Amino acid sequence: MTRLPRRPRLARPAQAALAALGLLTGLALGCKGGLGGDSCVSTREYFADEVWTNVMSRKCITCHGPGGVADAAGAEFNLLPSSYPGFMDANFAEVTENSSVAYDGLSALLAKPSGQTKHGGGEVIKTDSEEYRILESLVKQLESPVECSDDDLAQLEGVVVLSPEETLRKASLHLVGRLPSDAELKEVADGGEDALADAIHGMLDEDAFYDRLGDIFNDLLLTDRYTAYTGFAVDLMNDEDYPAAGAWWDGTDGQDDLRLKVNTALAREPIDLINHIVRNDRPFKDVLTADYTVVNPFSAKIYGLSPKFKDPNNYNEYQEAKVSITRDGKKLAIAHAGVLTTPMWLNRFPTTPTNRNRHRARMVYKLFLATDILRIGERPIDPTQSLDYTNPTREDGRCTFCHQQIDPIAGTFQNWDDYDQEKLVPDREWYPEMYPPGFNGEDLTKAEFPKALQWLGQHVVEDPRFVVSTVYTVYRGLVGQEPLLYPADPDSPTFKTDVAAWEAQDSLLRKIGDDFVAADYNLKTIIEQVILSPYYRGVTTDEEPSEDKALELAAVGTARLSTPELLTRKIEAVTGIRWLRPWDLSEYLRTDYKILYGGIDSDSITQRLGRLNGIMASVSARMANEVACAVTAWDLTRPVEKRVLFPKVTLDHVPLGPTGDEIPDSIADIKANIVHLHERILGEKLDLEDPEVERTYQLFLETWKEGSASVTAGKENAWLSWQCMVRVDPNTQVELPEAQQFGDDPAYVIRSWMAVVTYLLSDYKFLYE
Amino acid sequence: MDRRSFIKIAAMTGLAVSAPLGVRRAFAQPEPYKGPFFVLVNASGGWDPTYLCDPKPKGAVNRIYDAPASAGKLKYAPIPIDDASLGLDPGSAAYLMSNQQFFEKYAASLTVLNGIDMATNNHDGGSRATWSGRLAEGFPSFGALVAASRAPESSLAYISSGGYDATEGLIPLTRMSSIDALKRVAYPNKMDPNDAESDLYHSNSTAARIRKAQDERLAEALKQQRLPRVKAAMNELMLARASDDVLKDLVLPGELVTLPGYQLSDLQALQQQVQLAVAAFKAGMAVAVNLNLGGFDTHGNHDRDQPRQIAKLLKGVDFLMTEAEAAGIAGNLVVMIGSDFARGPGYNGPSEYDGKDHWSITSAMLMGKGIAKGRVIGGTTDDQRALAIDPASLGLKEGGKVLKPETIHLALRKLAGVGDNELAKLFPLAGDDMPKLLTG
């Protein structure tokens, strides 16, 4: 396996152990101009802060941007607006290039806008203006650019981040749905940040990680739509090319299960291809360039393939394969282009005879180039004027702006049918009135048409925006929020702080992108580095931030509401049981409560809810009650070495004696178990004397006092409710032997612990990451 | 930190802004919201007003009906609906509502706005402009704005089933689905939510004790927290928990509507959205609800698919009014029906299977509390160009003003009583002020 380059080190070693919520300790990050930092301003920063903000975004972009007068006139100096990913780097490069051109010894950057040489726009900046002075300063700097030491976290002064052990717990639950092992914890405790990076890297080899990665990429591709029922995906396949998509399983043993597996394998083919690429440390470029797909024993049959599987019944065994179809007795090979040629991607983003693949082109921009073409093209227009043109998409400036970007990509999908989305249509005549097939100004030759999507994939992955897009996708998946957009309104009172927030994040994400490229596009690099960043690890600040500082830090911090899928895994990881529907063993948060809890169905609901509403709070309340009910007696009555929640107490541990006197040893054990529960469920290490331990103990004590008195008085039962008794294995619902069944709670100990477990399972630190 | 800065942070973090950071209004239950209730019905994909409320003579624009029909002062497109013409299984059309049926029933209640210039023909921008009043990004949908303004303490005030529902951090968004699941979460401490005598997971006093400990712990954590994003998330949890008991008043329908066959599944979903919306309004939970029906992007097969989706849309609206009437809230309802933009002005080909492409001049229909009844404002030419109106008299006037989304939303905000409030000022609209546009 290729060893990945080391993550970038945090800007400073541990500065101080700071209390977060009185419970967490962490690292305070260094700062520019503080904590030993410097006040270096690089030329690129000067360009971003002064030249772009005060001059070019105001004076130049209108004409020199896409669709502008200068652009239309073929000017050599072209700028990108802030809606383009990577616009700042691209513009800085353009300006650097332009600055080196001189007219009578004066840089074009000064001569043109001031009208001292021929400029289509005439004089737009006066030589005695502040704008001119800023440009002068830039030109001077560009003669010998200032570069500063690479301190990605400079803007994040005073942010306290999770310690390595705490980060390990968070990452472990998130990536692989389990708590870290004792060995991992020890290694990280001893080895600090370096050991943490190693531990995270190790997790990326676990099968469970690929469940999570699949979730992240399904949020993008939405192909899980076709897992909705057992025939959704297979029914879409045309049986002319894929005759095995018929019901060949009918009459076989376990036909329903078989059909489900076949359908799932087909529906998840794009996701499984991505997982295959990442698992095998392939360059992530393969997501668009792989000249193969992956099949398991079940999807192989759909394609009429019979690769040698080690275990033909193993759903999780994947092999690379090349698909071909038979037409008129002749074999036609599919020219695979990663996910783009998978049947479910083509169906999920369909076309029509009049749409002509433009929707697909838009999705290529959105999913793989971090470019929302509609946003870029969005400005008030009067489309009704287009009626004056015979072919407005190529003649009317209101239309060409977008269509010259969209239509060439659309043309590269020409080999796929307009009605039967996954059906290959070779040798099709494309529309001559549209912009010719291509990408970024480069056209395909006719000879390349049969493999047009392969051509597209190879060109898209070489675009810098592919890297930006991939970093954004991982960031979104792990941090749970959108990367910041460059602030659009320079007149906004918060513009400066907004820019500072954007620059801090953009700087880090660009650095991660550079490392991703240096690691031969290994996606694991991005995952590791996002996890190690303060955007994933920030827990508080070392002092109350000023208003401006608060705005700068608005995107920082570990405050992501767990998705239904993440919470499902977390429940099992910490309690040892799953929150299940008893009748079919489906997890509630993946079925009944998925949408209510803000999840997606990959069909009509495709945006996750990142903010808790009242119904979601009620779902979490029910979860806490039901899980506490199912797990408390179950765990308390298991052999002590098997208990995960109650290793330090028994059913005989009560806080007070018959006369109401405290039982010190018993109280100590109860509190020790409370400390254990706080660590196990919430990840916080507390002393016995911690006020939070006392708060939890008081909940236990008061519940026990009231409940035991009620039992004694005959107001409450001495046994548990039916659902909370130990009758079945909570994970299988299989009835237990009678000797293991248990339901008595005369001392009210079980119900008191149930209250504690409910309390902890509904805590902020459990529901949020 | 002032409120503007706070809202800015919340917008960036996507977290709660309904209450100031670190301050919660005494953990009090929000009062049930009594109305008015706002329903925003989105015809997703771009509808064709010439086949609905802005009819045209037969010709290049209209290939289906002979001439416009009238109901009161309103004109409409008299398109017959039957299974065959709509490509539906036998018997399906009976579940839909024709334009004639709709306008004969509701014309006297409607204000129709024709000739709205969306200034775009892209879906995202059009949808955004229709429901926020601004083409550019960054403004909340009207539903989010009115919900956050009228019931800031409720984290359930804005329910969406789709369409443009950006909240810009003003208020959380809520989705509702399965009745059984909703019943269970309405009573999280009851083992069997269908049994009034059900066992409880915790005695009432223990449940209260747990809640008190939760609140105290969270308040303590919030007090110590300084990072805005984390603070906002904690604040959000507090607000969400405060709304728990509101669900107790949610009287859910016995069962959700089911319609036969796959072809009506979208109408079935719309009617189910209506059932849950009305239940939420009646329980005092919700201020605004987005309803959504797709299938209007008829670049192909326009003459079959567009009338079919319109007939579904109208049935959905009729079902909404009927359910609202039965729930006793019809008089307190404000309904706006709109789409991304329009289609046209002609067909994209000569074949009966051809469609209509995007067109920026569209229409909207409103009815309900405060909406002037039986009126048409604005208009279009026979080739679907917008006609200007006089901002004062609202009559057609050459050289006047063309209706724009900004103008409509200014009027809508006024109607909802949120035009001048603090939140609305954060999202100022630049449209022409036509105070009588909706109210007459």
What is the b/e burial string over A219-250, where b = at least 16 CB atoms within 10 angstroms of the residue's CB? bbbbbbbbbeebebbbebbbeebbebbeebbe
Predicted confidence (pLDDT) per residue in A446-472, tens digit: 999 999 999 999 999 999 999 999 999
Count of CB atoms situated within 10 Å of the CB of B87 = 12
Phi, psi for B170 (deg, rounded to 5): -75, -35
Contact A516, A467 (CB under 8 A): yes
Name residue A319's beta-bridge partners: A295
For residue A25, the model assigns a pLDDT of 34
The nearest CA of chain A is from the CA of B187 a distance in Å of 8
Is B230 a member of any domain? no
For residue B252, what is the domain's CATH number? 3.40.720.10
For residue A11, the model assigns a pLDDT of 30
For residue A29, the model assigns a pLDDT of 44
Burial class (CB in 10 A: 0-12, 13-18, 19+), B380: buried
| Total structural domains within chain B | 1
For residue A379, the model assigns a pLDDT of 67
**Tokens of residue A130, six digits:** 């502040």
Confidence of residue A30 (pLDDT cuts 50, 70, 90): very low
| Among candidates B173, B178, B217 on the partner chain, residue whose Cβ is nearest the Cβ of A609 | B173
What is the b/e burial string over A695-723, where b = at least 16 CB atoms within 10 angstroms of the residue's CB? bbbebbbbbbbbbbebbeeeebeeebbee
Contact A479, A608 (CB under 8 A): no
Is B309 a member of any domain? yes
Distance of CA A667 to the CA centre of its chain: 44
B250: DSSP letter:
-
CA nearest neighbour of B147 among B137, B158, B138, B155:
B158
What is the rounded distance in angstroms from the CA atom of residue B421 to the CA atom of residue B150? 10
B234 interaction partners in chain A (CB closer than 8 Å)? 559, 764
Predicted confidence (pLDDT) per residue in A542-584, tens digit: 888 888 888 889 889 888 999 999 999 999 999 999 999 999 9
Least confident of A82-86, A368-372, A668-672, B240-244: B240-244
Is B101 a member of any domain? yes
Higher-confidence residue of B21 and A698: namely A698
Residues 6+ apart with CB under 8 A from B282: B251, B327, B328, B329
Contact flag B299-A619 (C-beta cutoff 8 Å):
no
Name residue B338's beta-bridge partners: B42
What would the mean pLDDT of A97-101 be, rounded to a whole number? 91
For residue B246, the model assigns a pLDDT of 64
For residue A755, the model assigns a pLDDT of 98
How would DSSP label each residue in A618-657?
Answer: HHHHHHHHHHHHHHHHHHHTS-GGG-SS-SS--TT--SB-
Contact A571, A192 (CB under 8 A): no
Contact flag B5-A724 (C-beta cutoff 8 Å):
no
Count of CB atoms situated within 10 Å of the CB of B131 = 26
What is the rounded distance in angstroms from the CA atom of residue A508 to the CA atom of residue A388? 48
Least confident of A4-13, A607-616, A622-631, A694-703: A4-13
Cα distances from A320 to residues A294, A317, A587, in angstroms, run 4, 10, 32
B162 interaction partners in chain A (CB closer than 8 Å)? 604-605
- Unique residue bearing structure tokens 């390349």: A448
B202 interaction partners in chain A (CB closer than 8 Å)? 625, 751, 754-755, 758
**Tokens of residue A299, six digits:** 């999807």
Q: Which residues 586-645 of chain A have a CB within 8 Å of chain B? A: 592-593, 595-596, 598, 604-605, 609-619, 621-622, 625-626, 628-629
Q: Which residues 199-258 of chain B have a CB within 8 Å of chain A? A: 199, 201-203, 205-206, 209-210, 213-214, 216-218, 220-221, 224-230, 232-234, 236-237, 240-244, 246-247
Is B222 a member of any domain? no
Q: What is the distance in angstroms between the CA of the first residue and the CA of the last residue of chain B?
A: 42
How would DSSP label each residue in A458-518?
Answer: HHHTTSHHHHHHHHHHHHHHHH-SPPPPPPS-TTSTTHHHHHHHHHHHHHHHHHHHHHHHH
CA-based radius of gyration for chain A: 30
Relative to beta strand B158-160, strand B288-293 is parallel
Please give the helix or strand (H or E) that residue B159 lies within, else none: strand B158-160
Interface residue B60 vs chain A (CB under 8 A): no
CB pairs under 8 A between A and B: 277
- Unique residue bearing structure tokens 């953009």: A506
Contact A68, A121 (CB under 8 A): no
Residues 6+ apart with CB under 8 A from B181: A592, A593, A596
Burial class (CB in 10 A: 0-12, 13-18, 19+), A118: exposed
CA nearest neighbour of A194 among A6, A456, A43, A470:
A6
Contact flag A383-B360 (C-beta cutoff 8 Å):
yes
A696 interaction partners in chain B (CB closer than 8 Å)? 213
Q: What amino acid occupies position B225?
A: Q
A251: DSSP letter:
T
What is the rounded distance in angstroms from the CA atom of residue A419 to the CA atom of residue A221? 20
For residue B129, the model assigns a pLDDT of 96
Contact A767, A620 (CB under 8 A): yes
Residue of chain A minimizing CA distance to B297: A355
Quick one: angle between helices B123-132 and B142-150, nearest 10?
30
**Tokens of residue A678, six digits:** 């706080």
Residues spanned by the domain of B93? 30-180+247-426
Residue of chain A minimizing CA distance to B201: A625
The nearest CA of chain B is from the CA of A752 a distance in Å of 9
Q: Is the pLDDT of residue A22 over 50?
A: no
For residue B15, the model assigns a pLDDT of 40
**Tokens of residue A235, six digits:** 């029914």
A695 interaction partners in chain B (CB closer than 8 Å)? 213, 216-217
- Unique residue bearing structure tokens 């569209």: B362
Contact B430, B406 (CB under 8 A): yes
Is B354 a member of any domain? yes
The stretches in chain B having pLDDT less than 70 are 1-30, 155, 243-246
Q: What is the distance in angstroms between the CA of the first residue and the CA of the last residue of chain A?
A: 31
Is B207 a member of any domain? no
Confidence of residue A28 (pLDDT cuts 50, 70, 90): very low
Q: Which residues 80-139 of chain B have a CB within 8 Å of chain A? A: 117, 119-125, 135-138
- Unique residue bearing structure tokens 């959000």: B236
Q: What amino acid occupies position A525?
A: T
Please give the helix or strand (H or E) that residue A526 lies within, else none: helix A523-532
Higher-confidence residue of B357 and A674: namely A674
Contact flag B5-A554 (C-beta cutoff 8 Å):
no
Burial class (CB in 10 A: 0-12, 13-18, 19+), A260: middle
Contact flag B213-A696 (C-beta cutoff 8 Å):
yes
Relative to beta strand A319-321, strand A538-541 is unpaired
A618 interaction partners in chain B (CB closer than 8 Å)? 185-186, 188, 244, 247
Q: What is the pTM of this model?
A: 0.88
For residue B293, the model assigns a pLDDT of 94
B5 interaction partners in chain A (CB closer than 8 Å)? 494, 547, 550-551
Handedness of CA A74, A79, A84, A88 (dihedral sign): positive
Contact flag A723-B191 (C-beta cutoff 8 Å):
yes
Burial class (CB in 10 A: 0-12, 13-18, 19+), B331: exposed
Contact flag B229-A553 (C-beta cutoff 8 Å):
yes
pLDDT > 90 fraction of chain A, expressed in percent and rounded: 71
**Tokens of residue B39, six digits:** 């329903």
Q: Which residues 156-215 of chain A have a CB within 8 Å of chain B? A: 159
For residue A150, the model assigns a pLDDT of 57
Is B231 a member of any domain? no
The nearest CA of chain B is from the CA of A384 a distance in Å of 7
Predicted confidence (pLDDT) per residue in A506-545, tens digit: 989 999 999 999 999 999 999 999 999 999 999 988 888 8
**Tokens of residue B68, six digits:** 């416009």
Count of CB atoms situated within 10 Å of the CB of A642 = 9
| Among candidates B185, B202, B224 on the partner chain, residue whose Cβ is nearest the Cβ of A622 | B185
Give the ipTM of the model, two decimals please: 0.88
For residue B31, the model assigns a pLDDT of 78
Classify A281 as helix, strand or coil.
coil
Contact flag B244-A621 (C-beta cutoff 8 Å):
yes
Q: What amino acid occupies position A205?
A: D
Predicted confidence (pLDDT) per residue in A54-70, tens digit: 999 888 988 898 777 88
Interface residue B197 vs chain A (CB under 8 A): no
Relative to beta strand B375-380, strand B110-117 is parallel
Most distant pair of Cα atoms in chain A: their distance: 102
What is the rounded distance in angstroms from the CA atom of residue A194 to the CA atom of residue A6? 8
Confidence of residue A10 (pLDDT cuts 50, 70, 90): very low
Predicted confidence (pLDDT) per residue in A707-758, tens digit: 999 999 999 999 999 999 999 999 999 999 999 999 999 999 999 999 999 9
What is the rounded distance in angstroms from the CA atom of residue A101 to the CA atom of residue B302? 56
**Tokens of residue A330, six digits:** 């002749």
A216: DSSP letter:
H
CA nearest neighbour of A169 among A747, A704, A682:
A682
Contact A560, A481 (CB under 8 A): yes
For residue A758, the model assigns a pLDDT of 98
Is B40 a member of any domain? yes
Cα distances from A157 to residues A27, A85, B194, in angstroms, run 11, 26, 54
What is the rounded distance in angstroms from the CA atom of residue A190 to the CA atom of residue A766? 26
- Unique residue bearing structure tokens 């933009």: B341
Interface residue B176 vs chain A (CB under 8 A): yes
Phi, psi for A650 (deg, rounded to 5): -125, 180
Q: Where are the beta strands (DSSP E) in B191-296?
A: 288-293
Contact flag A354-B230 (C-beta cutoff 8 Å):
no
- Unique residue bearing structure tokens 């800085």: A92
Q: Is the pLDDT of residue A35 over 50?
A: no
What is the b/e burial string over A300-339, where b = at least 16 CB atoms within 10 angstroms of the residue's CB? bbbbebeeeeeeeeeeeebbebebebeeeeeeeebbbbbb
Residue of chain A minimizing CA distance to B1: A547
